[in-house]
C-alpha cells in the first residue's frame, strides 16, 4: 500500500488522538483510521467511523467501525481514476470530531 494525499488528524484544543489516511494498492483506494495508543490504552470511550468520498463523482463509499476499534481499514474502492479523499468521524459519545485527508486526483 502506498499513502496518497496528506494525513488528517482528529482532535480538539490542540490535542490529537487519531489520524486518517488514504492509500492506493491492488488497483483500489483504501481509507485507514488509527486511534493512538495513549487514548486507546487509557480506556477512553470512542467509535471510529469513516468514508472514502468521490469528490466529483456520483458515489460515496462508506465504512464504519466498532466501539473502541483502534485500527480500521475501509473496503477497497475502484476509484483510482476519480478525485477522492478520506473523511473521518470519530465519536467520543459526548461529541463527534471530523477530519479529512487532502483530495487526491
Q: Which residue has the cell 488528524?
A: 9
Domain boundaries, the chain: 2-10+17-96
Q: Which residue has the cell 467501525?
A: 65
Residue 33 to residue 100: CA distance in whole angstroms: 10
Q: What is the mean pLDDT of residues 82-91?
A: 92
Q: What is the pLDDT of residues 48-81, one digit of tens each?
A: 988 888 777 667 888 888 999 999 999 999 999 9
Residue 96 to residue 47: CA distance in whole angstroms: 9
Q: Which three cell numbers stand for residue 26?
A: 491492488
- The pLDDT of residue 58: 66
Amino acid at each position: 500500500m502506498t499513502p496518497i494525499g496528506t494525513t488528517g488528524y482528529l482532535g480538539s484544543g490542540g490535542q490529537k488522538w487519531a489520524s486518517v489516511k488514504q492509500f492506493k494498492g491492488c488497483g483500489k483506494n483504501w481509507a485507514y483510521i488509527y486511534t493512538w495508543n495513549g487514548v486507546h490504552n487509557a480506556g477512553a470511550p470512542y467509535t471510529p467511523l469513516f468514508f472514502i468520498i468521490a469528490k466529483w463523482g456520483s458515489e460515496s463509499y462508506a465504512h464504519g467501525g466498532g466501539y473502541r476499534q483502534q485500527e480500521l481499514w475501509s473496503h477497497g474502492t475502484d476509484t483510482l481514476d476519480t478525485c477522492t479523499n478520506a473523511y473521518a468521524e470519530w465519536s467520543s459519545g459526548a461529541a463527534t470530531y471530523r477530519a479529512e485527508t487532502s483530495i487526491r486526483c
